[in-house]
Structure 1
Amino acid sequence: MATSRAGGRVLGYLESKKNLAGSACGVAGLGLTLAGVAGAYWPLVVAGLYGAGALIAPPERVAPPHHPDPAEQLGVVREDFGRLRAYLAEVELPAAAAGKLAELLEFYEALLDPGWVAEVLAADPESVHTVSRAVRQDVPECVDTYNRTRWWARLSPGGESPEQQLERQLAALFEEAERVTATLREAEALRQQTHTTYLEDRGRS
């Protein structure tokens, strides 16, 4: 493996701008040698010109790592939401929790549905992160821990029931989704207000 990496580095240098520029200058040195200018010191002249060419060549640009923008992330979250729905379709939940979960999923679906609302969501990375975390982590964890805890509760009943815990969790997620919506609504209201101010100022000028 180390040999292959070393071979890759050598090949990369051979194809680099530094080597190409140095080689071009080295060829020029050979030309001077054939013309009789370099004399007995032609190896030094060729090597010196190669080194000079390699030094003045611009460095290779290493592409920075690519991170998906919020719009790309939203497309992936939309796919994850589809998988979440398929998972939840196979899970049996108490009626009250199932109703709250259905409302929550409608909320997420409305935000993620392709269109101008999703475009507004994509413009707010923090809101994208919140929805993404809920779809990928929070909702599946709520349902999975409910099913696991319910089994243990049958063996040792007492305390707050798993059903009550699940309802509290879903209520907290619903409040979080409402806060996301409020944030996006405020951003749109600010955008409208800014445009109004711009038009009024333009009219005065």
Structure 2
Amino acid sequence: MATNKVLGTGFLHYLESKKNLAGSACGVLGLGLTLTGAAGAYWPAVVAGLYGVGALAAPPERPEPPEPEGPTEQLNGVREQFGRLREYVAEVELPAPAEGRLGDLMELYAALLEPGWVADVLAGEPESVHALSRAIELDVPECVDTYNRTRWWTRLTPGGESPERHLERQLSLLSEEAERVTADLREAEARRQQTHTTYLEERGQHS
């Protein structure tokens, strides 16, 4: 049953296609030649041949462009990235200061992405969603990965700047970015509150 349904849908799609329309137009021309006697006894081959020429000459169908993701879908994608990040960082060993800083950062990410009104506010701020996605998908894994690699080389050839120092600085910068995102969301809610206050004041003046 499912196969028949798919075949039926494909046939209907072809009937509406540019190839079928162009082929049919050429086929009608072939019928016209048949009625005038120009096609002779070979009129079926002429009609079929003209149909094929028209179908082949028609431009190919353009695929439908994908629908853009809405805010909810984008945020769901960030949540999936965050779940993978949690699994990744759970398997790595970091020095205590960096581990504590990373833990605080992960808690902040989790609070922002928790389904509810906070996430609804976040979904309405595309730049904040982009910043959060970039940090979760790229920045945090890169911080942890480069720390582990650099620490391995440092054990072979001691000296130079401490990998721990770089890691802590990177996590500090990411924490500051996350705090700015949080502040922007708080400011958006403050503006919303102020807008409603202004609306009520203006409504009271005209009542």
TM-score, normalised to structure 1, is: 0.73
Matched, 1:70 2:71: yes
Question: What runs of 5+ residues in structure 2 fail to find an aligned partner?
Answer: 1-10, 38-60
Matched residue, 1:16 = 16
Residues 79 and 13 of structure 1, relative CA distance in 2, 3 Å threshold: closer
- Return the letter of the residue paired with 1:149: T
Counterpart for residue 162 of structure 1 = 163
- 1:101-140 mapped onto 2 (5 Å cutoff): 101-140=102-141
1:182: Cα distance to partner? 0.6
Evaluate the alpha carbon distance shift between residue 15 and residue 173 of structure 1 in structure 2; reply closer, same or farther with a 3 A threshold. same
Question: Secondary structure, in 3 states, of the residue corresponding to 1:159?
Answer: coil
Once the 2 structures are TM-superposed, how far is the Cα of residue 65 of structure 1 from its aligned partner? 2.4
CA deviation after TM superposition for structure 1 residue 64, in Å: 3.1
Q: CA deviation at 1:63?
A: 3.5
Q: How does 1:23-42 map to 2 (within 5 A)?
A: none
Offset of residue 12 of structure 1: 8.8
Change (3 A) 1:15 1:199: same
Q: Name the aligned partner's letter for residue 16 of structure 1.
A: E
Q: Deviations over 1:65-89 (max 9, x none)?
A: 2221222111111111111111111
Identical counterparts, % of pairs: 69
**What's 2:192 paired with?**
191
- Counterpart residue identity of residue 169, structure 1: Q
For the pair 1:202 / 2:203, whether they are aligned, the reply is: yes
Alpha carbons of structure 1 residues 131 and 14: separation in structure 2 relative to 1, 3 Å: closer
Partner of 1:82: 83
CA offsets 1:27-79 (integer angstroms, 9 cap, x no match) = 9xx9xxxxxxx999xxxxxxxxxxxxxxxxxxx99643222122211111111
CA deviations over 1:126-180 (Å, ceiling 9, x no partner): 1000000111100000000000000111122222200000000000000000000
Taking the aligned partners of 2:186 and 2:13, their CA distance within structure 1 comes to 54
Q: Report the AA paired with residue 190 of structure 1.
A: R
1:142 aligns with 2:143: yes
CA–CA separation in structure 2 for the residues paired with 1:202 and 1:171: 46
When the two chains are superposed, the root-mean-square deviation of aligned CA atoms in Å is 3.2
Partner of 1:176: 177
**Counterpart amino acid of residue 150 in structure 2:** T
**Length-normalised TM-score, structure 2:** 0.72
Q: 1:16 and 1:176 mapped to 2: Cα distance? A: 52
Per-residue Cα deviation, 1:83-123 (whole angstroms, up to 9, x for no partner)? 11111111000000000000000000000001100010010
> What is the correspondence of 1:56-67 to structure 2 with a 5 Å cutoff?
63-67=64-68
Query: Which amino acid is the alignment partner of residue 104 of structure 2?
Result: E
Structure 1 SS opposite 2:68 = coil
